[in-house]
Amino acid sequence: MDHGEPGRVVLVGAPLGNIGDASARMREILASADVVAAEDTRRLARLTKDLDITVAGRIVSYFEGNEERRTPDLVQALREGAVVAVVTDGGMPSVSDPGYRLVRAALDAGFPVSAAPGPSAVTTALALSGLPSDRFCFEGFLPRSGSGRRSRLRELAKEPRTLVFFEAPHRITGMLQDAGAVFGAEREAAVCRELTKTYEEIRRGPLGELAAWAAESEPRGEITVVVAGAPAGPAERPADEELRAAVAEREAAGVSRRDAIQAVADAYGLRKREVYELVHAR
């Protein structure tokens, strides 16, 4: 294992689904690394079989449930001169996947970190969404609970950059409903499912329509959601009845009245008290 050189970490970008996206450098690193830390060792076995390569080094599992415990062992391997490759189920390690903890530990211990870049669901979905891609921010997974999710969405209500999220199939309907309630049902978005795979599907449209589609079709697989940023500056103030209707629409989607009032106030640059008094005037 000791090559007479210091150990190093290599982050290996794996195909999202289409094996044809695997790079020659990815094949080389996986075949030659002293240690391959894989998010799922079974998926790694399938991947290497499809690539027709053999991993010569030691394979260890490295996923969310064990990365804190396993990171010190991998740093020790670096001290012994090992090349440690990190590979996840798809895309770049450390982007909402295992890897960051080892990157930080390796850098703190003085070891170099490099990458064999590969596909990324974030930039692939962004490019396919049809939404502005010159400025964007990646939010990863929203909180699992409805209240936590809505709270985070409210924090993003005024974000002007295009937003990119990951979401689980069993939460996608609730996520789209909450996003429509907080951002407005007319905000443009795209749901990107099973990117680069046989059943790739891109759905584009207003959040309200996408939420209805998701509730009816129950989409499966890996999902990335891209949402247009907030319009520049506050929108023109609607009539009082329209403001009341906007609050009622959000309440119907499951948002509390307090949060619905705040969301409408944020959307139109109004004081929360002003919207509150309109809603309760009757």
CA 101 to chain centre: 17
Q: How many angstroms separate the CA atoms of 48 and 12, rounded?
A: 13
Instruction: For residue 122, count CB atoms less than 10 angstroms from its CB and return exposed for 0-12, middle for 13-18, buried for 19 or more.
Output: buried
Compute the radius of gyration of the chain from its Cα atoms: 23
Predicted model pTM: 0.81
Residue 234 confidence (pLDDT) above 60 = no
- The token pair at 188 is 């443009």
Residue 265 confidence (pLDDT) above 80 = yes
CA 87 to chain centre: 17
pLDDT of residue 100: 95
User: What pLDDT digit, counting tens, does each position of 48-84 carry?
Assistant: 999 999 999 999 999 999 999 999 999 999 999 999 9
CA 72 to chain centre: 27
pLDDT of residue 103: 97
What type of residue is 266? D
pLDDT bucket at 3, cuts 50 / 70 / 90: low
Those residues with Cβ within 8 angstroms of residue 250's Cβ, 6 or more apart along the chain or in another chain? 181, 182, 259, 260, 263, 264
Class of domain 8-119: alpha beta
Q: Pick the closest to residue 116 from 251, 24, 226 (CA basis).
A: 24
For 112-125, what is the mean pLDDT?
A: 95
- The token pair at 98 is 């295992």
pLDDT of residue 150: 92
In CATH terms, the superfamily for domain 122-227 is Tetrapyrrole methylase, C-terminal domain (3.30.950.10)
Fold match between domain 8-119 and domain 122-227: no
Give the residue extent of every domain in the chain: 8-119, 122-227, 240-279
Kindly state the percentage of the chain with pLDDT values over 70.
Answer: 97
